[in-house]
C-alpha cells in the first residue's frame, strides 16, 4: 500500500491492518512490550477509526540513512477527537542513543513537521521520560503562544499479562488480602513450618499456618472460597483443631441485583460523558464512537432502565479509560466487575489490557492489583493548549 510523506515523517495508511508496513510496525512494537503496549493497541485498532487515526514513522536523518521502517525508526500515532483535539502516541527506539546534536535535530524535526497541526490543542499521551523532554523543549522554545502543561509524573501504566489469570474472590491470595486473618496469622505466613503443612498434604505452608493461627474459639463462616482453600480449612478444623465443620458447595454467580455487561451506546455515552473528569461539551461524540467499535464493561442495576452505575471503555488510543462508579455504589466491587469484563474481551481480541492510574489513587491501584495487572512503568502526559493571545489571533483570522 502506498505511503504518504510528510517530511521527514512517512504516513502509513492503516487499511485493513494487513499491509507489510503495518505488520512490520506491529512486530517492532511487540519486541518492546510491555513498554509499548498502549501504542501497540492503538496501531492494531487503527482500521476501526480510519477517519480519526493516522500512523507515521520517522528515521532521523542524522542517525540513519535508511528510508523504510525498521527497529530504529520512531513510530507515531495520532488520533483526533472532537473534545481534546489531536492525541499523540510516540514510540522511540530505546536501544539507540542520541548525541546532543542529534537531540537538537529531533527537536527541530518535530517542531517543523506538518504531521502535527500546531494551531489546535494536543495531548501527548503516555510518553516515556526521554520523549517527554524532547516534546517539552520544542513546544516551549518554538511556540511562543503555546502553554504546555506537563504533568510529571501523572500516571503509571498498568499492563495485564495475557497469560496471567484474573484473581477471583476466594483464592488463596484474595483470602489473605481480605483482612480475614489477624496479625498472628500474617506472622504465621512469614514463618512457615514445613512439617505442619506437609502432614496435611498441602504445598502452601504459609496459608495453612495462617488458618491454624485463626481464632478458633468462636463460630465462623468462611464464605466464597475456592476449592483449594476450602480443603485446607476443612482439614485444619477437623485434624488440627478437632472442630466440627460443615461445608456448603455453591456456584459463584452474578449478583441477583445487578447485571454485568458491555456499556450500551446510548446510556454508556451519557454515563461516561457526564462523569469523566476531563469531559467537555463534545466528549459524547468520541465516547459514542468508542462504544460502537471497542470493548467496554458496565454494571447495571437489574430490572432498571436507568444509566449504569459503573463503567469503563477501551479508548482508541489504546488505554482502558474513563472508569467511573457512581458515588452511591462505591465500595461494592462494581469497578472491578466492569474492568474484569472489559479485560477479558480485550484479551480475546488479541490486544494487551493496559490502563493508567494516578500514583496517589490507592483504591484504583488496589483494584488493578486484584485483577492481575502489573506495573509496566512510569509515563507522562503533556497537554498542549493555546494561550488566550493565540486564540484571539486565530479568532480574528
Q: What's the pLDDT tens digit per position in 161-180?
A: 333 222 222 333 433 343 33
Residue 55: the pLDDT is: 95
Distance from chain centroid for Cα 186:
31
**Mean pLDDT on 76-102:** 84
Q: Name the pLDDT band for 369 (thresholds 50, 70, 90).
A: confident
Write 303-310 long-range contacts (CB < 8 A, 24+).
Answer: 306/267, 307/267, 307/270, 307/271, 308/263, 308/267, 308/268, 308/271, 309/258, 309/334, 310/334, 310/335, 310/337, 310/338
Q: At 381, is the secondary structure helix, strand, or coil?
A: strand
Domains defined for the chain, CATH in brackets: 4-154+386-396 (3.40.630), 172-240 (no CATH), 258-379 (3.40.630.30)
**Mean pLDDT on 334-363:** 88
Say if CB 188 and CB 210 are below 8 A apart.
Answer: yes
Say if CB 323 and CB 338 are below 8 A apart.
Answer: yes
**Mean pLDDT on 94-115:** 76
Residue 64: the pLDDT is: 59
pLDDT of residue 310 exceeding 90:
yes
Say if CB 5 and CB 53 are below 8 A apart.
Answer: no
Residues 6+ positions from 77 with CB-CB distance below 8 Å: 39, 42, 43, 46, 53, 54, 55, 56, 88, 89, 317
Burial class (CB in 10 A: 0-12, 13-18, 19+), 261: middle
Segment of 76-90, 188-202, 348-362 carrying the highest mean pLDDT: 76-90
Please indicate whether residue 391 or residue 26 has the higher confidence score (pLDDT). Answer: 26
Residues 176-188: tens digit of each pLDDT: 343 333 343 333 3
φ, ψ dihedrals at 33, nearest 5° = -65, 150
The 10 Å CB-count burial string (b at 16+, else e) for 198-229 is eebebebbbbbbbbbbbeeeeeeebeebeeeb
Radius of gyration from C-alpha coordinates of the chain: 25
Looking at the chain, list the stretches that DSSP marks H as alpha helix, in order from N- to C-terminal side.
Answer: 20-31, 37-45, 100-112, 129-142, 172-177, 183-190, 194-200, 205-212, 227-235, 265-275, 284-293, 334-348, 362-370, 388-396
Residue 162: the pLDDT is: 34
Please indicate whether residue 240 or residue 118 has the higher confidence score (pLDDT). Answer: 118
Say if CB 343 and CB 353 are below 8 A apart.
Answer: yes
pLDDT of residue 93 exceeding 90:
no
Q: Name the pLDDT band for 251 (thresholds 50, 70, 90).
A: very low
Please indicate whether residue 140 or residue 340 has the higher confidence score (pLDDT). Answer: 340
Say if CB 12 and CB 3 are below 8 A apart.
Answer: yes
**Mean pLDDT on 302-315:** 89
Residues 282-306: tens digit of each pLDDT: 999 999 999 999 999 999 998 777 8
Residue 394: the pLDDT is: 55
Candidates 89, 256, 78, 226; CA nearest to 157 is 89
What is the number of helices (H) and of strands (E) in the chain? 14, 13
Percent of all residues in the chain with a pLDDT value above 70, rounded to a whole number: 63
Residue 123: the pLDDT is: 82
Q: Name the pLDDT band for 128 (thresholds 50, 70, 90).
A: confident
What are residue 317's DSSP bridge partners? none
Residue 282: the pLDDT is: 93
Looking at 4-98, list the stretches that DSSP marks H as alpha helix, in order from N- to C-terminal side.
Answer: 20-31, 37-45
Say if CB 277 and CB 155 are below 8 A apart.
Answer: no
Residues 30-74: tens digit of each pLDDT: 998 888 888 999 999 999 999 999 999 988 765 556 788 998 899
Residue 253: the pLDDT is: 42
Within 13 Å and on the Cβ side, how many CA atoms surround 361? 16
Please indicate whether residue 69 or residue 135 has the higher confidence score (pLDDT). Answer: 69
Q: What is the pTM of this model?
A: 0.69
Amino acid at each position: 500500500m502506498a505511503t504518504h510523506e510528510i517530511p521527514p515523517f512517512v504516513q502509513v495508511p492503516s487499511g485493513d491492518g494487513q499491509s507489510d508496513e503495518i505488520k512490520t510496525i506491529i512486530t517492532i512494537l511487540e519486541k518492546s512490550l510491555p513498554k509499548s503496549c498502549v501504542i501497540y493497541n492503538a496501531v492494531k485498532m487503527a482500521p476501526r477509526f480510519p477517519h480519526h487515526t493516522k500512523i507515521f514513522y520517522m528515521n532521523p536523518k542524522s542517525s540513519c540513512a535508511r528510508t523504510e521502517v525498521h527497529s530504529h525508526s520512531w513510530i507515531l500515532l495520532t488520533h483526533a477527537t472532537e473534545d481534546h483535539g489531536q492525541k499523540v502516541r510516540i514510540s522511540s527506539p530505546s536501544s539507540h542513543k542520541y548525541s546532543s546534536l542529534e537531540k537538537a535535530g529531533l527537536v527541530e524535526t518535530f517542531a517543523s513537521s506538518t504531521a502535527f497541526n500546531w494551531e489546535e490543542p494536543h495531548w501527548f499521551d503516555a510518553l516515556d521520560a526521554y520523549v517527554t523532554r524532547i516534546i517539552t523543549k520544542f513546544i516551549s522554545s518554538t511556540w511562543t503562544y503555546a502553554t504546555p502543561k506537563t504533568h510529571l509524573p501523572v500516571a503509571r501504566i498498568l499492563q495485564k499479562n495475557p497469560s496471567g489469570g484474573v484473581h477471583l474472590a476466594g483464592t488463596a491470595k484474595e483470602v489473605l488480602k481480605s483482612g480475614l486473618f489477624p496479625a498472628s496469622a500474617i506472622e504465621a505466613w512469614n514463618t512457615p513450618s514445613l512439617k505442619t503443612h506437609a502432614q496435611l498434604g498441602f504445598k502452601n505452608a504459609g496459608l495453612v499456618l495462617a488458618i491454624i493461627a485463626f481464632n478458633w474459639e468462636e463460630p465462623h463462616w468462611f464464605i466464597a472460597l475456592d476449592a483449594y482453600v476450602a480443603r485446607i480449612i476443612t482439614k485444619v478444623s477437623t485434624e488440627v483443631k478437632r472442630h466440627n465443620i460443615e461445608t456448603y458447595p455453591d456456584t459463584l454467580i452474578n449478583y441477583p441485583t445487578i447485571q454485568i455487561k458491555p456499556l450500551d451506546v446510548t446510556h454508556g455515552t451519557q454515563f461516561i460523558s457526564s462523569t469523566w473528569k476531563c469531559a467537555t461539551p463534545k466528549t459524547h461524540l468520541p465516547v459514542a464512537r468508542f462504544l460502537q467499535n471497542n470493548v467496554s464493561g458496565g454494571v447495571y442495576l437489574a430490572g432498571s432502565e436507568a444509566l449504569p452505575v459503573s463503567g469503563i471503555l477501551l479508548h482508541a488510543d489504546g488505554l482502558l479509560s474513563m472508569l467511573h462508579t457512581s458515588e452511591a455504589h462505591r465500595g461494592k466491587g462494581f469497578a472491578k466487575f466492569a474492568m474484569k469484563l472489559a479485560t477479558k474481551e480485550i484479551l480475546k481480541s488479541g490486544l494487551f489490557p493496559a490502563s493508567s492510574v494516578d500514583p496517589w489513587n490507592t483504591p484504583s491501584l488496589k483494584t488493578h492489583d486484584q485483577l492481575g495487572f502489573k506495573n509496566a512503568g512510569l509515563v507522562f502526559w503533556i497537554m498542549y493548549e493555546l494561550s488566550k493571545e493565540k486564540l484571539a489571533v486565530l479568532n480574528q483570522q
